[in-house]
Each structure stands twice: as C-alpha cells, then as structure tokens.
Chain A
Amino acid sequence: MKRSLLKSLVGGIALGLALPAGAALADDSIYVPLFTYRTGPFAGSGTPIADGMHDYLAMLNARDGGIGGVKLVVDECETGYDTKKGLECYDSVKPKNPVLVNPWSTGITLSLIPKAAVDKIPILSMAYGLSASAKGDVFPWVFNPPATYWDGLSEILKSAGGGSIEGLKGKTVGYLYFDAGFGKEPIPLFQTLAKEIGFSLKLYPVAAADMQNQSSKWLDIRRDKPDLLVMYGWGAMNPTAIKEAVKAEFPMDKFISIWWPNDADVAAAGDGAKGFRELNWHATGANFPALADIQKLVIGTGQSQTPKDEVGSVLYNRGVYNSVLIAEAIARAQAITGKKAVTGEDVRRGLENLDLDAARFKALGLENFAGPLKTTCLDHNSHSATFVQQWDGAKWVKASDPIGPDTARVRPLLDEAAANYAQKNAWPVRSEVCDNK
C-alpha cells in the first residue's frame, strides 16, 4: 500500500515535471473552465451545480468524444463564492484560452463584465449576474439566459395574483432576500409595482453573516402576516428560511421562492415543508436519456464525485442545463465558423445564436427537459417562461403552466439599467458583428 502510494507520487511528480512542456493545450481540444464552490457557506447550493456541470460535459467526452469530434478539457477551479478567489481563478485559467467562463457568483460576474470584451472571453452567467446584461447591444460579451431576476419577480407576482399582477391590489407582500447585489436587484421593480398596483411591500433583508440566524426576521414576518412572501435566497439561507417558515407555521401556499432552493434545502425542513413552491424553467428527475448516459458513462465509471441520488435534483439539473448551453454554444460556434477548435470569440457568436427548441432538446436526449430558448444579438437572455413547481414531501411536482414575464413592465427597467451602466462606465459601443439572419 505504502509502496504503491510512493510510486504514484513519484510517477505523479515525474508526470508533472514533464507536463509543462506539453501543457500548452493541443489544437484539437476546447478548454472549458468551471468556477465551482464545494467549500464554504454556499457549498450546499454550489456542489450539486458543480456536479451537474461537470458530469454533462464529461458525458459528452465519454459518449461522443467531445463536441464535433473535439475533446473538451474540463477544469474545475474552486472559488468558495469569494470574489477574490474567483478573480484568482480567472487569472489562472486565462492563459489556457478558455472559450467562456461561468462565474456562478454575482460578485465575480460584476468584476469580470468589464474584462470580457478586453480579454475576448464571453461570460455565461445563467439567470444571475447583472440583469441589464440581457441587452446584447450593450453587453456583447455577457449572456444571462434564460430569464433575469426581474423576469422572475414579475412571474412570481403574476402567478400569485392569479394570472396578472393586478390581482395583488390591496394585499401585503413580503420580500425575504439575501442582502447583496442579487437580492437587492429586484427591489426597484418591486417598489415601482407596489406603487403602481397598490400593494404594500415589506422588506426582510438577510445579511450573509446571518444566513443561518433568521429568527428575528421571522418574528417580523409573523407580526406583519404578509399575504404573500417572496424569497430570493442562496446557499445556507434557503434551508434555514424554509425551516423557520415551518417552525413559525407560516402557510406554505403563501410562500414562493425564486429558482434557487434545492431538494435537500426543502427536505431538511421535514413534512412541514410540503406545499413549498418555487419557480423553475427545467424539469427535475433523472428520467431522460442524457441523464441515463451520465449515470452509465460518468458516475458508473467513477469519473465523478456525484452521489447517485443527487442526479435529478433541482440544482444538479440546473448544472446540466448550464452545460447544455455551453455545449450548444460551442456546437453553434463550430457550425458558424466551420472551425473545429473554436475560440472565445467564436463561442461568443455561438452564444448569440442559440436556438434550443423542442426538437433540439429531443435530439440531445432531453425531451421536454425545458422550454424553448432563443438568443439573438440584441437579446442575450431570451426572457423565457418559467413555471411554478411544488414540493410534495419527496419530489417536485409541476404546479402551473409556463408563465411569461410581464415584458411591458420589465422591459423599460432593463433598458434604463443598461443605459445607466453604459453611461456611468463610459462603456464602449458595440463593434462586434452580428451573425443573426
């Protein structure tokens, strides 16, 4: 045992010494770094996402030999959801010519947005980051499909108001949010709507340091008795909030979250969490051919850290969805440029020409996995519809038809935010050519 360890160590060191010479990536591979966090207070959310992202790309390598015959080099970098470490990751992957980056943190995304155009590395911040970056004419290098936090809020309020936000007139709406950029972003829209429609808004901010200590907020919530409680949480905040809600006997039918709570977050609260609802845009469960391939070719062969029962959970499938977008962007880039080993600039064009319809999802082995997604040069988000899913004590059940965003109300806010950002930062005018026909 000892000997074999020593041998592998020596072998490893020898290999490592030999590597730098050959480390310059061969032309026939595509480098995809994944910024992940399996450590720290956000690991509960970060781990299943990291697993899903990694496993789908590893499955493409194992099953199809990569994308378009080109192997993917998948490389994880641990950020711990910390902006400084995220920047360290970015600097460490930059020399290896990544085709895109997935920051998985609003803080890291904000730091990287100005760099993207200069370094020619597109950013895929899937349904997080800066909402305004949905506007491709202002942010050619940033992509945040399939919906922004403002879209999400309008969808939540529409569903709670019985089809339109006007249904909330005269009600009291509580907003329990992670007190950072992510949770604060929807507040201007919330306040505008409260004034326009006439519901009263109560804010319950939860600071990062107090994620697991929310009892004072829940005392306020019990006192205010909101008719609807909207939650934008992340990491340890989600399971804590759901547990507190159960403890406070807050009715689950008045509690609805944005798309981030995972199965484990809800399950931790026990039976009382039955009926908890959240938005989602993709299916849960592992009943898809592509996920079966992952189980067979990646998890079954020990190439992954994923525990078996994690496949099919909300955030695992979210990671898979993120990697589907990466893979599609690379495939589209190959189709547009005719090159095999695409670069960041090519993949930016690919991301701008995504067209995932039902037929395409079926071809990927993910039939009915998610609604259609289409990006253009102007629209880097697609503002897709989402649906409400409900926890039945063991699994998620779809509880509504697809709900589209209230475009009329969200659009002006988005335009204003993008114009604001561009004006404040002396933002360069888009010079990238558009491939849309």
Chain B
Amino acid sequence: MFYREAGQYKTTYAADMAIFPIRQDRFGVALILFVAFVIIPAFGGPFFLNTMMIPFLILSLAGIGLNLLTGYTDLLSLGTGAFMGVGAYACYKLETAFPQVNILVWIVTSGFVSAAVGVAFGLPSLRIKGFYLAVATLAAQFFLEWCFSRVPWLVNDNDSGAIEVPNATLFGVFVTGPNATPTTRYLVALTIVAALAWIASNIVHGRIGRMWMAVRDMDIAAQLIGIRLLNAKLLAFAVSSFIVGVAGALMVFLWLGAAEPAAFNIDLSFEILFIVIIGGLGSIVGAFFGATVMHLMPIALRALPPMVGLPIEAARVDQLTTMITGILIVVFLIAEPHGLARLWRTAKQKLRVWPFPY
C-alpha cells in the first residue's frame, strides 16, 4: 500500500536503470544515511560507537570486498584476513615513513598495495576454480601471515612485534590513536565505507559488474561473447583486495589501535566469508546484514542476561552466545539459503503488492 510504484513513471533510460528506481527506496536510503551521519554520532555513546558501530562498518566493508570476488565473480577466497593484513601493514609503513601526509591518503593508498598483492595471488584463478582456488588463496593466507610475524621490517622492528598505531590528525582533529574520540573515528570510518560501498555498487551495476557476473554464471560462455577471462578475474581480485585492504587498515587504525599478526589469522578470513554467505552472495547490502548477524548479534546476546538481571557467569554467557549465534545462522540459512539479502528482496517484493497479492 505504502511501498509501491504506481504513479511513478520512468521517462528516461537513466531512470529506468537507476539502482533505486522507486521513490520510497531513495527516501529510505536518504533516511539511513541521515541516521548514520547525524543521529548516531549525535546520540551514540562511546560503547555503542567503539564496540558496535565502528567494527560493524569495517566488517561490512570487508564483506563488500569479498562479495565482489566470491559473490559476483564466483572466485572463492580464504585469504581475506591476510589481504586485510596487507592493507594494515602497508598503511602502518606508509604512515610511519611519511607522518606528515594525511592519514586518509595512506588508508586509501594501502588499498592499492593490497590490490597488487591480491592480483599476484589471483593469477592462478585463470587455471583453477572453486575449491582448488580456495586452496591457492589459503596458501596466500598462510604465506602472508608468516610474513607478518617473520619480517620485522613490516613493524619497524618493534619489540612487541605488533603494529603500534601513532596519533594522526586530520584538520587538527585526532583521527587515530587514543586521543581520537569515538565519534571522530566513527565518522571517518562511515565516510570511507559509504564512499566505497557507493563505488562498489556502481561497479557491479555497470559494465564491469555484468562482465564479472557473466564469468560467474558460465565462464566459457563469457569467453565466447568476448570477455577476456584473465582481465575480468584479475580485475575482480584487484578491486576486491583494494576494498578488503582499506578495511584492514581501518580495522587497525580506527578500531584495534594495535595489532599482532594473529589479528589477521584464518579466523578473520572465515568470519568475513560467513558475513558474505549469511548476508547473501552477490549483494552489497547483504554484507551489512551479514555483519549485523556476525558482529552485532553476539554483542546484543552477551548484553542480554545482565540486562535482565540473570546471574550467569561471564564465561557461560560467552559459551551460550556462541551456541545461540551458531543456531541462528543455521536457522537463517534454512529459512533462506540465498542469504538475508534474498529475504530482504522477497520481503520488498511482497510489500509491493500488499495487501492484494496475486
């Protein structure tokens, strides 16, 4: 009744091809952006921003990056954690070598380093597919993790063997380090995530995205209609690793504040992969849904027992959270094997014809 397009006429091709063709959708996106940019920073407490929103944004961004590779091009990668690490270490090296340059420049530049490494490890993708490619990216994961812990140059020979995030300012305001307020860090992360999500969304709706999807659906057919597989696949690796690398730099600089090599272990790769699978393969908004399930839901579950005054020990709460999260993931996947994004699409479709379904 409220969500329908009757009376909205498309008079140009551009309007027909728009990402959000319905006025209500455009209004919804504007509302979400308004809440994210104005309401949340104005009213969110430090715990909400630090522990919930900043990690949520960063994990969503990594999910978007992996989704371009796995969801849109069907190249399964288990090296996401390591590529995030490449971004983080590159950003650290650049920032400590040239501290006078704006930190945002280095965060974005580190994405290019990660993209280069991603392309290098993406080369086998021309010859192998599916699980075999997953094993090749797994090798990237282990090799890069080995580098992080074995090459002291990467951490400027720190005794701790970890990245120590320096204080960096932007227009005189602290952006990283302990003096940066959660609101500043949140806004920086939000701006970068929103910009990259917008770019990613445009890429997948354009020529490149269609090329990737053609490769995903049947690579021989794609080749026959004139798509160069090598270029398409390597481009997918490059763009995906770029976004993942930026997410990694954000993770260390805006969230953790210091990072041992263990921060980029295979668990992180799996976490991002789960975000993509639960959220929905081949969907940008799905990454946000996935991050909600993988990151925000456990925090909410952990907060529940103390909030209602149940006297449960911290460890038991943690174990219960893990179990409930696992059960919910299974339930979600049984309810909709194509992820939450598909559920969202179905719901929208139903809403369009409500209350008179045909």
Chain A contact residues, CB within 8 Å of chain B:
9, 12-17, 19, 36-39, 76-78, 80, 83-84, 87-88, 91-92, 94-95, 106-107, 110-111, 113-115, 117-119, 130-132, 179-181, 184-185, 188, 207-209, 305, 417, 420-421, 424-426
* Complex contact B309–A114 (CB within 8 A): no
Q: How far, in Å, is A53 (CB) from chain B's closest CB?
A: 13
CB pair B257 A131 closer than 8 Å = no
Q: Please give the distance in Å from A184's CB to the nearest CB on chain B.
A: 5
Pairwise interchain contact A12-B308, C-beta atoms closer than 8 A = yes
Assess whether B349 is interfacial by the CB under 8 Å rule.
Answer: no
Interchain nearest-CB distance for B268 vs A (Å): 9
> Which chain B residues border A208 with CB–CB below 8 Å?
262, 265
Contact partners of B167 in chain A: CB under 8 A: 425-426
Given contacts A12-B310, A180-B149, A425-B164, 19 further A-B contacts (CB under 8 A): A12-B309, A17-B308, A17-B309, A78-B317, A83-B260, A83-B262, A87-B50, A87-B255, A91-B46, A91-B47, A92-B47, A114-B258, A118-B178, A119-B178, A132-B159, A185-B160, A207-B149, A305-B313, A425-B166
Interface core residue of B46, B159, B307 (most chain A CB under 10 Å): B159
Which A residues are CB-close (under 8 A) to B161?
180-181, 184-185
B261 proximal to A (CB < 8 A) = yes
CA distance A19 to B310 in the complex (A): 12
Contact B164 A107 (CB under 8 A): no
Using A83-B260, A181-B160 as known contacts, say yes or no to A92 and B96 having CB atoms under 8 A apart: no
Which one of A39, A84, A179 contacts B149 once the chains associate, using CB atoms below 8 Å? A179
Q: Does B156 contact A (CB under 8 A)?
A: yes
Contact A107 B262 (CB under 8 A): yes
Q: Are B164 and A420 in contact (CB under 8 A)?
A: no
Closest 10 CB pairs of A and B: A16-B309, A38-B315, A16-B308, A15-B309, A78-B314, A76-B314, A78-B318, A118-B178, A114-B178, A110-B258
Say whether A110 contacts B162, CB under 8 Å: yes
A368 to B40, CA, bound (A): 55
B192 to chain A, nearest CB (A): 20
From B47, B96, B259, residue with most partner A Cβ within 10 Å:
B47
A305, closest chain B residue (CB): B313
B310 to chain A, nearest CB (A): 5
Question: A13 to B159, Cβ gap below 8 A?
Answer: no
B261 lies within 8 A of A180 (CB): yes
Q: Give the interface of B toward A (CB within 8 A).
A: 45-47, 50-51, 55, 96, 149, 156, 158-162, 164-167, 177-179, 255-263, 265-266, 299, 306-311, 313-315, 317-319, 322
Q: Are A114 and B318 closer than 8 Å at their CB atoms?
A: no
Contact partner of A107 among B149, B260, B313, B315, CB < 8 A? B260
Whether A426 touches B308, Cβ cut-off 8 Å, given contacts A84-B55, A87-B51, A184-B161, is no
| A357 nearest CB across to chain B (Å) | 32
User: Within the assembled complex, what's the spacing in Å between the Cα atoms of A240 and B314?
Assistant: 27
Nearest Cβ in chain B — how far from A304, in angstroms?
Answer: 10
- Cβ of A13: which chain B residues have Cβ within 8 Å of it? 308-309
Q: Which residues of A contact B45 (CB under 8 A)?
A: 95
Contact (Cβ within 8 A) B160 A110: yes
Q: Which residue of A lies closest to B45 (CB)?
A: A95
Q: How far is the CB of B312 from chain A (nearest CB, A)?
A: 10
Please give me the residue from chain B that is nearest to A46 by CB atom: B315
Chain A hits for B51, CB < 8 A: 87-88, 91-92
B180 — nearest CB in chain A belongs to which residue?
A118
A87 CA / B169 CA spacing, docked (Å): 22
Instruction: Return B211 CB to nearest CB of chain A, in Å.
Output: 36
Expressed in whole angstroms, the Cα–Cα distance for A426 and B165 within the complex equals: 10
Of chain B, the residue at the smallest CB distance from A47 is B315
CA distance A94 to B46 in the complex (A): 9
Name 23 A/B residue pairs within 8 A (Cβ), A-sorted. Answer: A38-B313, A38-B315, A39-B315, A76-B314, A78-B317, A83-B262, A87-B255, A94-B47, A95-B46, A106-B260, A110-B160, A110-B258, A111-B257, A119-B178, A130-B160, A180-B149, A185-B159, A207-B149, A209-B266, A420-B159, A424-B156, A424-B164, A426-B166
Report whether A188 and B159 are in contact in the complex, using a CB–CB cutoff of 8 Å.
yes
Task: Report A-chain residues with C-beta under 8 Å of the C-beta of B255.
Answer: 87
| Chain A proximity of B7: nearest CB distance (Å) | 47
**CA A209 – CA B142 in complex, angstroms?**
11
Q: Let me know if A209 and B265 touch, CB within 8 A.
A: yes
Least distance between B179 CB and chain A CB atoms (Å): 6
**Chain A residues positioned under 8 Å from B260 (CB to CB):** 83, 106-107, 110, 180-181
C-alpha spacing A114/B178, complex, angstroms? 6
Least CB distance, A354 to chain B, in whole angstroms = 25
Partner of B179 from the list A95, A118, A421 (CB cut-off 8 Å) is A118
Q: How far is the CA of A77 from the CA of B302 in the complex (A)?
A: 10
Complex alpha-carbon distance, A180 and B264, angstroms: 13
Contacts of B308 on A, CB cut-off 8 Å?
12-13, 16-17
Residues of A within 8 A of B307 (CB): 16
Question: Which chain B positions have C-beta within 8 A of A188?
Answer: 159
B162 neighbours in A (Cβ, 8 Å): 107, 110, 181
Contacts of A76 in B (CB 8 A): 313-315
What is the distance, in angstroms, from A74's C-beta to the closest C-beta of chain B?
11
Name the CB-closest residue of A to B318: A78
Q: Inside 8 A of A14's CB, which chain B residues have their CB?
A: 309
Q: Which residues of A contact B315 (CB under 8 A)?
A: 36-39, 76, 78
Q: How far is the CA of A9 from the CA of B46 in the complex (A)?
A: 30
> Whole-angstrom distance between the alpha carbons of A379 and B263 in the complex?
31
